[in-house]
Amino acid sequence: MAMDVAKLIDAGQATLGIELGSTRIKSVLIDQNGTLLFCGSYTWENRWEKGIWTYRMEDVITGLQSSYADLARQVRESCGVTLRSLRAIGISGMMHGYLPFDGAGGLLTPFRTWRNTMTAQASHVLGQRFHFHIPQRWSIAHLGQAMLAREAHVESIRSLTTLAGYVHRLLSGEFVIGICEASGMFPVDPKTKTYDAAMVAAFEDFAKENGYGIDLKSMLPRVLRAGEPAGVLSEAGAALLDPTGNLLAGIPMCPPEGDGGTGMVATNSVRPGTGNVSAGTSIFGMAVLDQPLRGVYEELDVLSTPAGSPVVMVHCNNGTGEIDAWVSCFEQLSHACGISLTKTQIYDALYHAALEPSAGDMVVYNYLSGEHMTNVEQGVPLLMRAPGAVLDLPGFARALLYSTLATLRMGMDLLREQEAVRLTSMSAHGGLYKIPAVGQKITAAALRSPVTVMETAGEGGAWGMALLALYMADRGENESLEEYLETRIFATCRKRVEAVDDALADDFDRYMTAFRQGLATERGAIAAFSLGKEPSKT
């Protein structure tokens, strides 16, 4: 088997997917069947600088190179071959955000990530003009807010993209974007599969009223669907990704996508009626629609699948970050006691404790940043318990895990109750599901739906991006993404299905009642803190 893998890689027939996530940059190598071969990674974190959640561009380059170097080292040590060529490459990144450039390619403002919640005014104004909900993290909301605030850099903008689009352009020189990621930059017309022309005209009118004359379509990247070619790795791109000079230029590249699109692919949730949950630093649920929503909701985002079908998303800024913070604290405690437990041991103990009996009655708000779903403008993590409630590990662990899904549950309830959306399947991936069964069982209880987790769930996004690159390189004539995934990738993929535990689901419902009632206290805690103070690093 090792010999076969070595021959495959040496022949340049492996496919690479790179995803720049919130906490890790992952480089995944797969074979012609989508099987995960190697995974390199680099750990990084966002910064709070001058009131903005951001990542520095030098960290993007360092992380990209380090993640790829880690992958290449594993290939060399395990197979005895040097990674020189590939069948295809795909780039993914955190959804949307704001990266404006001048005509010379210079970045005009620090990267404003999905985590920022400073665009409420533009989100509201544009939503009214478009008769279409514009989430605060979308690129066009950031641009609109910059115009309303008369930010000096706006006059110099010549191009606007996302993190995935930025890295793709660095590596290929092509100014393009995948349609799922594009639909979170600016609304996409499901018929034309590109930016909605009427809304483009409406935004240009809005810009003119605010003193800016722009050609929005020339400012935004060209939209491509899954399977379409998106250029090749350039000489400069190869040297940037692999400074050792081993990687060759000319490798085909697929359209860059955000982590929403890669999550759909990684969970085989691209057909109407399918849905998925992606649970990491942020958490979101997606449902592929067979018809448009009847209403417009600030809590629900309308996007596209990587193939161009309409999909609705419930996006929450806060996911497992507070769990990570507590695990780090417990790790420090273990070292202080001379025990030196690893984080892996602590995660495992904490997750499994959540399923043990408890007399505890606690509520956790995992809000490291603002949360539009609950009208919380800034993040202040909070743990509350009734005065007479027992403080035990199982109760604490359960409340901590429940908190990752509570805000998502509110949005999914809206989707079911107001739009009667029913899903035939619900899959999950991301860090919450790395420990077998626990996160999956709690998700099934929270959503009152059976939940499927693939064996690749822990590396889902980067793996999903690699699959999109493989699809572009390998698909048959007129073979749809849905058909390709079902027949070639997931037909034999190992998976685990967790049914709804009614007792746990009832317990989650009780937690949700307390969670909703306690939101006023969370807002009061925010008011008690200095909002401009730099958050403590987790």
How far is the C-alpha of 272 from the C-alpha of 495, rounded, in Å? Answer: 21
Instruction: Determine the average pLDDT of the residues in 9-33.
Output: 95
What element of type H or E holds 483?
Answer: helix 481-484
Neighbour-count burial for 226-244, b at 16+ CB within 10 Å, e otherwise: bbeebbbbbeebbebbbee
Higher pLDDT: 369 or 312? It is: 312
Ordered by start, the domain boundaries in the chain are: 2-316+454-495
pLDDT value for 455: 73
Query: Shortest CA distance to 440 belongs to which of 519, 527, 352, 518?
Result: 352
296 is written with which tokens? 């417009």
Confidence of residue 65 (pLDDT cuts 50, 70, 90): very high
Cβ neighbour number for residue 322 with a 10 Å cutoff: 22
- Please, what's the largest Cα pairwise distance for the chain? 66
Residue 392 scores a pLDDT above 50 = yes
Alpha carbon of 269 to those of 123, 365, 440, 456, 460: distances in Å?
Answer: 28, 29, 17, 14, 12
Asked whether the beta carbons of 508 and 402 are under 8 A apart, the reply is yes
What is the dihedral sign for C-alpha 258, 313, 22, 162?
positive
Asked whether the beta carbons of 164 and 256 are under 8 A apart, the reply is yes
Q: CATH for 2-316+454-495?
A: 3.30.420.40
pLDDT value for 536: 44
pLDDT value for 80: 95
Half-sphere exposure of 165 (CA within 13 A, CB side): 30
Do β-strands 188-189 and 194-195 pair in parallel, antiparallel, or remain unpaired? Answer: antiparallel
* Burial class (CB within 10 angstroms; exposed 0-12, middle 13-18, buried 19+) of 390: middle
Instruction: Determine the average pLDDT of the residues in 321-346.
Output: 95
- Please give the angle made by the CA atoms of 141, 143 and 144, to the nearest 5 degrees: 65
Residue 298 scores a pLDDT above 70 = yes
pLDDT value for 255: 98
Residue 243 scores a pLDDT above 60 = yes
519 is written with which tokens? 């939101």
Return mean pLDDT, the chain: 93
pLDDT value for 446: 96
Cβ neighbour number for residue 345 with a 10 Å cutoff: 15
- Paired residues of 202 in beta bridges: none
- Percent with pLDDT over 90 in the chain: 78
SS3 162: coil
SS3 188: strand
What element of type H or E holds 439?
Answer: helix 438-447
Digit-coded pLDDT (tens) for 268-281:
999 999 999 988 88
How far is the C-alpha of 130 from the C-alpha of 289, rounded, in Å? Answer: 21
**Of 8-12, 221-225, 401-405, 411-415, which gets the smallest average pLDDT?**
411-415
pLDDT value for 377: 79
End-to-end CA distance of the chain: 41
Asked whether the beta carbons of 169 and 64 are under 8 A apart, the reply is no
SS3 108: coil
Confidence of residue 314 (pLDDT cuts 50, 70, 90): very high
Instruction: Determine the average pLDDT of the residues in 112-133.
Output: 92
How far is the C-alpha of 222 from the C-alpha of 217, rounded, in Å? Answer: 8
Residues with Cβ within 8 Å of 326's Cβ and at least 6 positions away in sequence, in order, are 350, 400
* Burial class (CB within 10 angstroms; exposed 0-12, middle 13-18, buried 19+) of 439: buried
Residues with Cβ within 8 Å of 70's Cβ and at least 6 positions away in sequence, in order, are 27, 40, 41, 42
- Paired residues of 17 in beta bridges: 28, 90
Enumerate the H helices of 339-433 as residue ranges.
343-353, 393-419
How far is the C-alpha of 308 from the C-alpha of 23, rounded, in Å? Answer: 28
